[in-house]
Structure 1
Amino acid sequence: MIDKNSVSVILCAGKGSRMNSARPKVLNTICGKSMLGYILDAQIESGIGRIIIVCNSENIDLIRSNTNKDIEIDYVVQSKQLGTADALKVAATNTNFKDISNLFVFLGDTPLVTNSDITYLSNSLKSNDILIASFETENPTGYGRIIRDNEGRVCNIIEEGDATTEEKSIKTCFSGIIIFNNISILSLLDNIKNDNSKKEFYLTDVIKIADNNNLNVRDVLLEYDSVRGVNDYIQLSQTEKIMSERIMQKFMKEGVHISLADTSFIHPNTQFGKNVTVEPNVYIGEGVIIGDDVIIKSFSYLEGVNIKKGATIGPFARIRPESNIGENSKVGNFVELKNANVADNVKISHLSYIGDASLGSGTNIGAGTITCNFDGVEKYKTIIGKNAFIGSNSSLIAPIEISDNSYIGSGSVITKDVPTNSLSLSRSEQVTKNNWVKKRSTKK
C-alpha cells in the first residue's frame, strides 16, 4: 500500500537530442498517448498523492498543457541541464517538501512501468533507506551497471560512459527508479561531484555516498519490459509494440473479440461494450466509444466517434471526430463521416461522404452520395429527416434540409429544401437518338 504522503518526482528536463524531434521527448506518443501520460496514470492508480515534474525552460509550457490530471502536480524548471542529481535538487528547492514520507524518483522516458510495479516497489521498501528498481538484460548498452557487495547490498552504480570493460559485462542494470525512505536522505545530494566524462551531477552517485554512510541500499528486480527507456524512435517503436500487446490483451480479457490483434491499433482509452468484434487491420484512435454487439470490419479508421448498439462499420470506412452512429445503423465500405449524427437504423452502405450532417432514423443513403458542406469559405449543415431515401450519386448542397419520408432521385444535385413526403429530382432530360451509331458509321 502506497503511503498517502508519498511524493513522486518525474525527471523530464533532458533535451532528448537523440530523438531529433522538436517535440519534448516525454510527449512522444505510444499507441496514441504520451509517454508521460502513461507514467502519470500508473502513479495515480498506485495511490501516489502528489507529483512533481522537473522540466526545462523550453518544454514546461507544452508539458503543462498536456498533463491535465485530477491530481496535484507541481512543475519546476531546471534552468541548466546539469544532470539528474541537480534536477532532483531543483525539485526539492522549488517545492514544499513538508510532511513527505517516501520519495519516488522516475525518469520521464520509461512509459512501461505499471501501477503494480510501483506498488511492489513500495511494499519492498520496508526498512531499506534507499531502494532502486533494477533489471537484467543481455544487451545492457547505455544503462548504468549495479554493483553489489557480498551481502547483496547495492554499493554503487556505474554509468556506461565511466564503466570499465569488466563493469560493462555486468547484466544487472539501473532502471532510473529510486525510492528514498526518508526525505532527510536527500542531504546526500550535496556531496555529489561532477568529475565524470559528461561533467554532470549523476543521481546514481548518491548510492556510493549512501553506502559510505552505512545506509542500507537494496535493489528489486523488475522485468525489462516494465522499465526499458526510450531514447530514439527505434526504441519508441519497440516500446509501442509492447504497449500495444498489453492494450490488446486487456481488452480481450474484458471480452472484446479482436481478430489478429497484432494487425490493429487501438487507443488505450477506447471504451467497449459487450460482444464487440474488431476484424483485422483496424485503427481505433482517441475518443472512441463502442456499444454492445458492434462489428468493426477490416481496414476501418475511427476517431472521436460514439457507436451505439448493434451498428456495423466498414470495411474500409473512415469516421472522423464528433460523429455519432445510432443503434443498428450501417456505415459501409468507402464511406467517410465527419461531424455527422446518424440516428438508429440508418444505412450508408457504399462510397459516400457525409460531413456536417444530421440523419434521421430509418434513412437510406445511396452509393456515391455527397453532402457538399464547404463553399470555400464557410462550412454548412445538411439535415436529413426520418425514413428519407437519397438516390445514388446525389449531391446535397448545404445548407439544406431534406424532410421526413422524402425521396431524392438518383444523380440529382439538390440545392433547395425538400418538404415532407416529396420527391425531388434535379437532372437533365434523357435524349435518345435511334440508329445514331449506324448513321454515324455510314457517313465514314
Structure 2
Amino acid sequence: MYKCATILAAGEGKRMKSETPKVLHKVCGKEMVNHVIDIMRKAEMEEVNVIVGRGAEKVKAATEIKNVSYSLQDKQLGTGHAVMCASDFLKGKKGIVAIFTGDAPLIKEETVKNLLKFHEEGSFKATILTSVIENPGAYGRVIRNENNEVEKIVEAKDCNSEEAAVKEINAGMYCFDIESLLLSLSKLTNNNAQGEYYLTDVIGILKSEGAKVGAMVTEFEETIGVNSRVELAAVEKILRQRINKKHMENGVTIIDPDTTYIGSDVEIGQDTIIYPGNVIEGKTVIKENCMLYPNSRITDSTIESGVHIQSSVILESHIGENTTVGPYAYIRPESTIGKNARIGDFVEIKKSSIGDNTKVSHLTYIGDAEVGSACNFGCGTVVVNYDGKKKHKTIIGDNVFIGCNTNLVSPVKVNDNAYTAAGSTITEEVPEGALAIARERQTNIEGWVEKKGLKK
C-alpha cells in the first residue's frame, strides 16, 4: 500500500524568541524537522511533504537536500488548516498519509512503522498516536468505546469529571486513509472561539459517519514537542542519552556519557574509547580502536582505525590509520592525513594532504600543500601560501627534512630526499637530495650592547 508523510512545520514558535524558525533549531546537531524527515524515510515513506509557513525559505533551504516537496500555509489558522494546505499534495492518491509535527524529533522509526501496521491491520480510517501519563493536565483526552476504538477526543477544558480522569492523551500524530481525510477536510469548519481549523475535529467527522478510528499507545517521551529553549534542552538531553546508549551497546566505551556530545548521524566502530568533553558532529565516521582523549571537536570527518586524538579540532577531513593528532591541532576542511603520521601540538593543516609516516610535531602551519611520505617538519615551519591576492600551492616530496623556522613561499617545490636549513626562506625549487640554505650570513658586532647603553 502507498504510504506518504506530511510534516507540520509552519508554526511561528513565538516562545522560542528567535529569528530562526522553530523547526530549524537543532537537537544533537541536526534541525528538528530533519530528524523527523529522516525518521519518515527510514519508515519507508514513498513521499514526504513539508508544510511551511513562517520562515518558509529558510526551512526549504535547510531541508531541500532531503528530497521532499512543500506545501505553504500562509496564515496560521490551526492544524486542520495546515493539512488543508497540503491538499494538492494528497489529491489523487490512495493509501495512507502519516501526519507528524516538525518540532517533535524524539519519535522513533519503529514507532512510525508500528503505527502504520496497526492502522492498516485494523482497517481504520484514522489512527491516533497516544500516550498514557499519570498527570495529563491540559492535554486532550482520548475516549475509547466498548470495542477499544476511539470514540472521541475531548479537550481538557471540556472534560467532565469522568473524562478528566482518563490518562490517555492525544500526541498530535496520526495516520489517515488519504481519501477519507480529504473528504473530511472539506467538511471542516472553524466554528470555535479561536476561529481555527483543528485536525482533531476530523476525528469527530469520521466518527459521525460511522468510520473506525484506532489509537496506538507509545511512550510519552517520543511525543514531546518543543516550544521553548528550556524544552529544547530537555529534548537534546534525551536524544543524546539515546545516541550514547546505542554506541555503548555497539561496543564503544564512553567514559562519561553526560559530557559527551555525539550527533545522530555519527558512526563509531567497536573498541573506540571516548573521554569526556568530546563533540562529534555531522556525518563523521570513526573506525575501530580509536582513542579520543578529552575535549576535541570532530565534524563531517572520517577517522580510520587506531587513531589517537587529543584536544584538537578536525573539520571535513580524513585521518589515516594509527595516526596521532594533537594536543591543540587544527585540521581544517579538505585535508587528508596519511597512515602512521604525527600531527602535533599547535599545528594547523589547511586544505592539504600529508603522506604516510610524516611528522609535523609542533608549531607549524601547512596550507594548500601536497606533502609526501616519511617527511619531518621542524618546529615553526610556515607554508606561506597567500600572496595577498591568491592562494598558491607547495609540493613536498618523500623523505624531506624541513628545518626549524623554515618559510616555504608558495608556489614552490621541495623534491625527494631534500633538506632545508633552519631559519631559511625558500622561494625556489629545491632539487632532489640537496640542502637548501636561504638566510643572511651571521654578523657579530662587538660591544654593540654597551655602546647602546643597554648593558645591565
Report the TM-score range of the alignment, normalised by the length of the smaller protein: 0.7 to 0.9
3-state secondary structure, aligned to 1:352 = strand
Distance 2:47 2:369 in 1: 45
Tell me the amino acid that sits aligned with residue 389 of structure 2.
V
Of 434, 437, 440, the residue aligned with 1:425 is 437
Residue 35 in 1 paired to residue 36 in 2?
A: no
Q: Partner of 2:295 in structure 1?
A: 281
Q: Partner of 1:84 in structure 2?
A: 79
Tell me the amino acid that sits aligned with residue 22 of structure 1.
E
Q: Partner of 1:223 in structure 2?
A: 219
Q: 1:409 to 1:443 in 2, by over 3 A?
A: closer
Tell me the amino acid that sits aligned with residue 183 of structure 1.
E
Q: Partner of 1:271 in structure 2?
A: 285
Q: Partner of 1:206 in structure 2?
A: 202
Distance 2:90 2:193 in 1: 33
Distance 1:268 1:246 in 2: 17
Residue 98 in 1 paired to residue 95 in 2?
A: no
Q: Partner of 2:41 in structure 1?
A: 44
Distance 1:20 1:411 in 2: 55
Q: Partner of 1:53 in structure 2?
A: 50
Q: 1:116 to 1:431 in 2, by over 3 A?
A: same
Distance 1:412 1:140 in 2: 74
Q: 1:311 to 1:230 in 2, by over 3 A?
A: same
Q: Partner of 1:118 in structure 2?
A: 112
Distance 1:24 1:13 in 2: 8
CA shift at 1:8, angstroms?
Answer: 0.6
Q: Partner of 2:23 in structure 1?
A: 26
Tell me the amino acid that sits aligned with residue 42 of structure 2.
E
Tell me the amino acid that sits aligned with residue 289 of structure 1.
T
3-state secondary structure, aligned to 1:178 = strand
CA deviation map 1:321-349 (0-9, x unaligned)? 11111111121222222211111111112
Q: Is contact 2:144-2:152 (8 Å) kept?
A: no
CA shift at 1:64, angstroms?
Answer: 5.0
CA shift at 1:387, angstroms?
Answer: 1.2
CA shift at 1:106, angstroms?
Answer: 0.8
Q: Partner of 1:296 in structure 2?
A: 309
Q: Is contact 1:193-1:201 (8 Å) kept?
A: yes
Using the size of structure 1 for normalisation, the TM-score is: 0.87
Tell me the amino acid that sits aligned with residue 305 of structure 2.
D
Q: Partner of 2:243 in structure 1?
A: 247
Residue 409 in 1 paired to residue 421 in 2?
A: yes
Of 85, 101, 109, the residue aligned with 2:103 is 109
Paired residue total: 434
Quote the sequence identity (%). 35
Residue pairs, 1:320-331, within 5 angstroms: 320-331=332-343
Tell me the amino acid that sits aligned with residue 183 of structure 2.
S
Q: Is contact 1:256-1:275 (8 Å) kept?
A: no
Residue pairs, 1:52-71, within 5 angstroms: 52-56=49-53, 58-60=55-57, 62-63=59-60, 66-69=63-66
Residue pairs, 1:369-408, within 5 angstroms: 369-408=381-420
CA shift at 1:175, angstroms?
Answer: 2.5
CA shift at 1:232, angstroms?
Answer: 2.7
Distance 2:117 2:380 in 1: 62
Distance 1:169 1:243 in 2: 31
Q: Is contact 1:192-1:201 (8 Å) kept?
A: yes
3-state secondary structure, aligned to 1:66 = helix
Q: Is contact 1:103-1:183 (8 Å) kept?
A: no
Distance 1:375 1:31 in 2: 40
Distance 2:454 2:295 in 1: 56
Q: Is contact 1:145-1:170 (8 Å) kept?
A: no
Distance 1:239 1:338 in 2: 36
3-state secondary structure, aligned to 1:236 = helix
3-state secondary structure, aligned to 2:236 = helix
Q: 1:83 to 1:301 in 2, by over 3 A?
A: same
Distance 2:210 2:23 in 1: 36
201-210 vs 109-118, which deviates more?
A: 201-210
363-372 vs 241-250, which deviates more?
A: 241-250
CA shift at 1:168, angstroms?
Answer: 8.1
CA deviation map 1:167-216 (0-9, x unaligned)? 88876443321111453243222343334454321212223333344433
Using the size of structure 2 for normalisation, the TM-score is: 0.84
CA shift at 1:159, angstroms?
Answer: 5.5
Q: Is contact 2:285-2:302 (8 Å) kept?
A: yes
CA deviation map 1:224-281 (0-9, x unaligned)? 3322212233322322223333333333444444443423222253223222222232
Distance 1:170 1:373 in 2: 70
Distance 1:443 1:39 in 2: 73
Q: 1:443 to 1:312 in 2, by over 3 A?
A: closer
3-state secondary structure, aligned to 1:411 = coil
Q: Is contact 1:345-1:363 (8 Å) kept?
A: yes
